[in-house]
Chain A
Amino acid sequence: MKRRDVIGAAVGLASVAWMRSAAANADELAAAIKRFADGAPVTEGRVEFDVAPLVENGNTVPVTVRVQSAMSESDHVKAIAIFNESNPQRDVANFFLGPRAGRATVSTRIRLATSQRLVAVAKMSDGSCWSHSVDVLVTLAACVES
């Protein structure tokens, strides 16, 4: 068994260098959302955030974000951002849409270092921002190689 297998197995969890207080993370999360919203208030709603409440492995977590919108020239989703609370950094992914998207639905797979809150924020063509947050429990493979 190679040592790299031992060490490589747990993504991010082996290193404690990035562990910070929960309060600091929550502040950073709020700041990241504020930056994305560009000064506009962020209202809870219009955004669906599909992610399993209990995740078997934090390495690959499927997520889908859906925003209610006509996606017309005059009324559409310009961008969708996903943020987290307890990973080493708050950003996860930002998606840029527009009327040519047809539907404001994006899917990807993300990494979660630990159980935490996720927030999806949608920025509309009129500048308004909408969000939804979910709490996700992350378990690990019990029979770990390390």
Chain B
Amino acid sequence: MTLQAFLLLGAALFAVGLYGALSQQSIVMLMMGLELMINGLVVAGAAFWFFVAPSTADGQVLVLVAITVMALEMAMGFAVVTALFRARDADLTDQARDLKG
């Protein structure tokens, strides 16, 4: 186990999640991509704590924030999906492109 190996795992999860967030048409599948990206960040943050600065708890605090943000993102995401679906029967990203410039 090395820092590089952990970071590579985090980067792979991040890239897979990025592919999902960019390519999925269903809004809920897009959110799964975002979750996967944050999953990669959790791995990278934990690895930085263990391999670079284990004597302070800052890395752990960062991981805790990332995990919390992940849960909040999912709750808000589903609320938005529900509101969109109620308002106009839309559950695809292509049906919600009002802000596209």
Are A and B genuine complex partners? no
Binding site for A on B (CB under 8 A): none
